[in-house]
Amino acid sequence: MEKPFEQELMEQEEDTQKNKFLTFQLGNEGYGIEIRHVTEIIGLQPVTQIPELPEYIKGVINLRGKIIPVMDARVRFKKQAKDYDNRTCVIVIDIQELSIGLIVDRVSEVLVIPEEDIVPPPEVGSASFNRYIHGIGKVENEVKLILDCNKLLREDELSELSNI
């Protein structure tokens, strides 16, 4: 039996996105997000703060009429906060039906990282940081920490943000 046309199109789209990662910088460290999670990249917008949210959630932005919570990736990963500048970007990603903006120092490029060049993160130190990391991608002489978008927020955090 033949596949429905829509299913075939979706599978082709997934194939074109396979092993593609949007890479970005936080300080000297390179990170990657699977391109299928990325909706768009925008410059930093005015952020409206909302009381009683976790420190790493900076507030919300209005993106063409849609209210999107924004998370400072530096603060989420317990790195030293840094003033935003003209290279600071917001990567809008989808996590389980919720759009969220990730504030990063700068966006680098889209890279193809073959599966064989991605290794699991080491089992050392704090397991809480490793929970965000899906793997470590080897790219020429560098490494990129590949984020697991579905683990950037816990279930309770996701439900709190979806109620905004």
Cβ–Cβ < 8 Å for 113, 137: yes
Query: What confidence score (pLDDT) does residue 157 get?
Result: 85
Query: What confidence score (pLDDT) does residue 97 get?
Result: 84
Integer Cα distance of 62 and 97 in angstroms: 17
- Helix intervals (H) in the chain: 5-17, 73-76, 127-130, 155-162
Chunked mean pLDDT (size 10), the chain, 164 residues: 57 71 95 95 94 92 94 92 93 92 96 94 66 90 92 84 78
Cβ–Cβ < 8 Å for 118, 135: yes
pTM: 0.85
Cβ–Cβ < 8 Å for 44, 90: yes
Nearest to 104 by CA among 161, 67, 58, 157: 58
Query: What confidence score (pLDDT) does residue 111 get?
Result: 95
DSSP 50-63: -TTS-TTEEEEEEE
Alpha carbon 38 to its chain centroid, in Å, reads: 7
In whole angstroms, how large is the CA radius of gyration of the chain? Answer: 17
Strand partners, 29: 26
